[in-house]
Copies of this chain bind each other. A is one copy, B any other.
């Protein structure tokens, strides 16, 4: 038996998954919530934009989960021993950069910075750099439009340089003490293989291309001149960052004796170059040309690959050569909040009971409603809009409520709002020539919420498939590990072969109901009216029929089923 390990560093916890290379079967798994902060996230009640993580939690979490997963694998599979593990892959959240010293040690691990939130990892959902993001966007729009073309036209506050520039502005002591900055998907494989020194650390193509405007066309990272215009110190940082980046089939290095000891594995096995969870999750779900993988959790990531691209797709947050599968353009889109919107409603607005019980109760009532019946329509922008409008400074909207509106109607409208957002993304891709023949869903929400999948099928008019594995990110990392290891070590020589052996979808799929789809087409038209009216500058739209159209759709929905 040959196996690989996939580590999945999520927003709140790290998972270790041990997978049988031949079948993709899960041999053992374990998960550990990060120790620091609230559910692993350091926040600040006075500034909702702040979200940081203690990098020591990542290392500690790997050790605990690997030992647990190995024990479980051995218990469940008598023939399994730790030396069956021939490689390690790593996926993480991102952009989650952290400052490192000249030896590649996180500043957060030095006593003088241990308590300083600015020396920690700046979690993807940290939005403190929104002004810096606007500044970067403005500067690029003026003189460097090519930088923006690959990242949706707007540089996000969630991304690498927005965060580093914000750190430079608010905490120059941390900035000055940092020799370089790395994404945690760069740092973790390097840490495991003693390649953290900036000269040897292999940087993730996925992170570099999607979050740091890295592109061979213009010689890698944005020019020193560009960065220096934002701040001379940022310009000077450029040469201490990186000049090359690597796809996930690349070996980052080989497991050190020290880490082999801590984890209970064999020293010298290859560790693949890291990537973001969504990208490796797409691999784990079976992404290939024509397949859209939707990873639906607190937020949503949409991932596609394409061998050829005629032109850039505006509003798509990332278009990067090799960011998912080597040899293909990786296309990334997404919605800034999906499950988070439902959680907000259940936990903050309608606290009828315990969280899960409320979700279940609302879902069971909402599932009985017909499309259009509530008369409600919601925009899914409670956490901004990531794809198409690429604007964090958009907010939620609910229209159509009367004195009779029920919580389950709002809940369903929120789910439908995210489905309309999903369809807007699909239409944007197809408009620019990226065909979508299949949709595979994965992630926590798609596992749990049948109503949501049926609504997504009805709204998009497409079949919704679900990945068989509930841990596609970790599985994708394990697949990358198998490819990095290569056939000679019991792995595979390419992703096609590896995915064909290791990826599967569930038998149950969700088919669109044509009648429901028709109603949703009407509602989607209204959604797009609101989308453009509130989201697109200068789009003066006549909204005076929106409320009446919603009432008409509602009355039709009620009349047809008396």
Could you give, for residues 381-397 of chain A, a 1 whenever the CB lies within 8 Å of some chain B CB and a 0 otherwise? 11100000000011111
Of residues A348, A407, A535, A544, which shows the largest number of chain B Cβ atoms within 10 Å of its Cβ?
A544
- B395–A397 contact, CB under 8 A? no
Q: A410 CA to B401 CA in the complex, in Å? A: 13
Q: A551 CA to B534 CA in the complex, in Å? A: 14
Please tell me which one of the listed residues B337, B383, B410, B543 contacts residue A349 in the complex, with CB atoms under 8 A apart.
Answer: B410
Nearest-neighbor residue (CB-CB) of A534 within chain B:
B543
A79 CB–B CB distance under 8 Å:
no
> Contacts A533-B544, A534-B544, A544-B535 hold; do A395 and B406 have CB atoms under 8 A apart?
no
Give the chain B neighbours of A403 by CB distance below 8 A: 337, 340-341, 344, 382-383
Q: A381 CA to B375 CA in the complex, in Å? A: 14
Q: A535 CA to B399 CA in the complex, in Å? A: 13
- A551–B393 contact, CB under 8 A? yes
**CB proximity to B under 8 Å, residues A540-561:** 540-548, 550-551
Could you give, for residues 135-149 of chain A, a 1 whenever the CB lies within 8 Å of some chain B CB and a 0 otherwise? 000000000000000
- B396–A401 contact, CB under 8 A? yes
Nearest-neighbor residue (CB-CB) of A352 within chain B:
B351
Q: A539 CA to B546 CA in the complex, in Å? A: 13
Give the chain B neighbours of A223 by CB distance below 8 A: none
Nearest-neighbor residue (CB-CB) of A530 within chain B:
B543
Nearest-neighbor residue (CB-CB) of A343 within chain B:
B403
The number of chain A residues touching the other chain, given as a range, is 35 or more
Q: A215 CA to B533 CA in the complex, in Å? A: 43
Query: How many monomers of this protein are in the complex?
Result: 2
Give the chain B neighbours of A410 by CB distance below 8 A: 349
Nearest-neighbor residue (CB-CB) of A340 within chain B:
B403
A48 CB–B CB distance under 8 Å:
yes
Give the chain B neighbours of A383 by CB distance below 8 A: 402-403
- A544–B539 contact, CB under 8 A? yes
Give the chain B neighbours of A398 by CB distance below 8 A: 396-399, 401
A405 CB–B CB distance under 8 Å:
yes
**CB proximity to B under 8 Å, residues A401-427:** 401-407, 410
Q: A382 CA to B405 CA in the complex, in Å? A: 9
Q: A420 CA to B407 CA in the complex, in Å? A: 26
- B48–A395 contact, CB under 8 A? no
- A542–B538 contact, CB under 8 A? yes
Give the chain B neighbours of A235 by CB distance below 8 A: none
Of residues A352, A382, A402, A537, which shows the largest number of chain B Cβ atoms within 10 Å of its Cβ?
A402
Give the chain B neighbours of A375 by CB distance below 8 A: 395
Nearest-neighbor residue (CB-CB) of A398 within chain B:
B398
Nearest-neighbour CB distance to chain B for A558, whole angstroms, equals: 9
Q: A344 CA to B533 CA in the complex, in Å? A: 28
A536 CB–B CB distance under 8 Å:
yes
Nearest-neighbor residue (CB-CB) of A351 within chain B:
B352
A326 CB–B CB distance under 8 Å:
no
> Contacts A533-B543, A538-B544, A540-B540 hold; do A550 and B395 have CB atoms under 8 A apart?
yes
Please tell me which one of the listed residues B340, B404, B405, B546 contacts residue A534 in the complex, with CB atoms under 8 A apart.
Answer: B546
Q: A481 CA to B217 CA in the complex, in Å? A: 90
Give the chain B neighbours of A344 by CB distance below 8 A: 403-405
- A537–B533 contact, CB under 8 A? no
A222 CB–B CB distance under 8 Å:
no
A400 CB–B CB distance under 8 Å:
yes
In the complex, 18 of the A-B residue pairs with CB atoms within 8 angstroms, ordered by the A residue number, are A348-B404, A348-B405, A349-B349, A349-B407, A351-B352, A381-B547, A393-B547, A395-B399, A395-B400, A395-B547, A396-B398, A396-B399, A396-B401, A397-B399, A397-B547, A533-B541, A536-B544, A543-B543
Which A residues lie at the B interface, using CB under 8 A?
48, 337, 340-341, 344, 348-352, 375, 381-383, 393-407, 410, 533-548, 550-551
For the complex of A and B, the 5 pairs showing the least CB-CB separation, nearest first, are A396-B401, A540-B540, A397-B399, A540-B542, A537-B544
Q: 10 new A-B pairs (CB below 8 Å) besides A382-B401, A397-B397, A398-B398?
A: A348-B404, A349-B407, A395-B399, A395-B547, A397-B398, A397-B400, A536-B544, A538-B544, A540-B541, A541-B543
